[in-house]
Chain A
Amino acid sequence: MRYPYKLLFRSIVRPFYRENLSIFFFLFILFFGIEGEVDGAELWQFHYSLVQGMTRQGGYLWVVLVAWGWYAWKCGRFVTGLFRRPEYRWIAIYNNLGKGARFRLLLLVNSWLMLPVLLYGMIVAVIDCYDGFIIPVLMIWAYLAVLVVVLAGWQLFRLGDLYGWSLLRIRLPFISYPFVLLRQVVYKQWALWLGLKVFACGAVYAIALNNSFSDYDIAFPFLFFNFGILANGILVYGLREFEETSLSFYRGAARPLGQRLAEYALVYFILLLPELVILARLVPVHLHAADAFLFYCCAYGLVLTMHAVTFLRHFGKKEYFLLLVMIFSVQYFFIAGFGLAAMSGCLLGVAVISFLRGYYGYERVG
């Protein structure tokens, strides 16, 4: 068993930590590298109070558990992603081992991947046991054990079904281009999409809730809402990359430009539905109907613009995100000078013109 384990360790665990080294370093500095005092407390006392807050306050504990679950999910995605890579095809040889042996190997691998969380779980256990809070410790460790076991089980399934996609298959009675794009979001970008929705919807909802008939302000909610929409640029960029690599044939299809634009418009309308629902929920007390409408038009126009400009020329990732920052700056001055209605119209206009001018002239470089 030693050699199969060593190989898995070198080909899964090491690449994982190498790839995420900068994030772990940042987190380590954030949590443990701060010298001196934090809010008047020593480092040990800081963690002591952090753990106390975690296990004594239900809401805080839930947030931590969700974060750990998210980390586990990222680990799982990393491993199954490796399984699909051509240079990892050799890993199919592990299917010659018995299920129990494979599962034990994957348990070990996942324990290594989950090590940062497990170590922090140990700190929590020491502090809570010292304080006599045994039940929360048992709950936390049961949760961590479930995460590791589920990860190993999931990878065991994927290892035996290396080229299969039997889970999460969506079968529609018809096929159309917008639904191919939406399915890509469902399969590959759903976590990103969900995060963006939680941020944009959560921010606008939480801030606009302070509005009332007598005390009304739209500048602050819009600022955060717009920032959340702008972050959709990551999703847009991912979708365009997907189009260029896997759907390039569609450019040669006999489809009028207007229809192509309508297809993209439908995709982004569906992707922005949560924002539409949240804005509608805030009407009429926390947001006036006209303002909610303008918020949505701005969001829709902005997303379409972020998509359409990618046809003007090929942007590298950094260039594209720099462009988004520029769009954000222009928006800021535009709103100050002309207001939301003008900006919505302008964004929609820019989106349509950029798309119509750029679509057939676009080519990917590099």
Chain B
Amino acid sequence: MLQLDHVKKSFSGRIVLKIPSFEFRNGIYWLKGPNGSGKTTLLRIVSGLLPFEGKVVCNDVDLRRQPILYRQMVSWAEAEPLYPLFLTGTELVALYRSIRKADPKDVDYLIAAFGVDNYIDSPVGTWSAGMTKKVALLLAFIGKPSLVVLDEPLITLDEHALSVVSGLIAERCQDPGTLFLLSSHQDADMSLLPAGEEIFVQNQTISHAISI
């Protein structure tokens, strides 16, 4: 469960987000909203990547007070991930695995599932945007995070990868302690994805929508 309390974020004096109070129960949430509405900012805040005013608590762990414990529970994949061009996918996976203390077998399973084994050993500089995106999503699934934050997980993915992501989300959601926060600014083919709740990010705040 993720709680936001008086979360406020400004950039150069301009308020981007002002959320009095909001609670995400475990499950899947789709953050919707136009460009510049603050979806990515919100996701970056709950991932512990941006400073903010207010309180963010996940499973009773306060991001400000227990930053390490909080970050142990969270994984994050960017919309347009960037990694050092000279690193190989294998090295990135090893870095994540060492940080998250994940089981090598689980990582091997993810590598096979995403079908990245044919290029994972090559440097990031040789990959296309879609290949990088797949690896970014793979990295987000490493370990057993309670809160998985995926910014625009559907863009640049091929159909196979889309079904893999969808399958993994459904699989992880069987664990009642897992919360997915996903963002999208367009209507994706939701038939491929597990059901979730839509949240609208607009007018600097967020509001519930309907189950899809």
Checking B76, B125, B139 against A165 with a beta-carbon cut-off of 8 angstroms, the contacting residue is: B125
Alpha-carbon gap, A145 to B142, bound state (A): 53
Residues 58-81 of B, flagged 1 when their CB comes within 8 A of A and 0 if not, give 000000000111011010101001
Q: Which residue of A lies closest to B91 (CB)?
A: A175
B residues within 8 A CB of A246? 82-85
B residues within 8 A CB of A175? 91, 94-95, 98
Q: Is B49 on the interface with A (CB-CB < 8 A)?
A: yes
- If over half of B's interface residues share one DSSP class (helix, strand or loop), that class is named, otherwise mixed; here it is mixed
Alpha-carbon gap, A248 to B49, bound state (A): 8
Given contacts A245-B82, A249-B76, contact A255 B48 (CB under 8 A): no
- Which among A245, A251, A253, A365 has the greatest number of chain B C-beta atoms within 10 A? A253
Query: Is B99 touching A180 in the complex (CB atoms < 8 A)?
Result: no
Given contacts A183-B84, A242-B84, A249-B76, contact A254 B49 (CB under 8 A): no
Residues 156-168 of A, flagged 1 when their CB comes within 8 A of B and 0 if not, give 0000000111000
Within 8 A of B (CB), among A328-366: 360-363, 365
Query: Is A252 touching B76 in the complex (CB atoms < 8 A)?
Result: yes
Q: Which residue of A lies closest to B94 (CB)?
A: A175
B residues within 8 A CB of A223? none
Residues 126-164 of A, flagged 1 when their CB comes within 8 A of B and 0 if not, give 000000000000000000000000000000000000011
Given contacts A183-B86, A187-B86, A365-B11, contact A255 B51 (CB under 8 A): no
B residues within 8 A CB of A360? 48, 51, 67
Alpha-carbon gap, A187 to B84, bound state (A): 11
A residues within 8 A CB of B125? 84, 163, 165
Q: Is A256 on the interface with B (CB-CB < 8 A)?
A: yes
Q: Is B47 on the interface with A (CB-CB < 8 A)?
A: yes
Given contacts A163-B125, A175-B95, A177-B95, contact A252 B48 (CB under 8 A): yes
Given contacts A175-B94, A246-B82, A252-B74, contact A165 B51 (CB under 8 A): no
Q: Is B174 on the interface with A (CB-CB < 8 A)?
A: no
Q: Is A174 on the interface with B (CB-CB < 8 A)?
A: yes
- Which among A165, A175, A183, A246 has the greatest number of chain B C-beta atoms within 10 A? A175
Checking A84, A174, A247, A363 against B84 with a beta-carbon cut-off of 8 angstroms, the contacting residue is: A247
B residues within 8 A CB of A164? 126
Which residues of B come within 8 Å of A, CB atoms?
11-12, 47-51, 67-69, 71-72, 74, 76, 78, 81-87, 91, 94-95, 98-100, 123, 125-126, 139
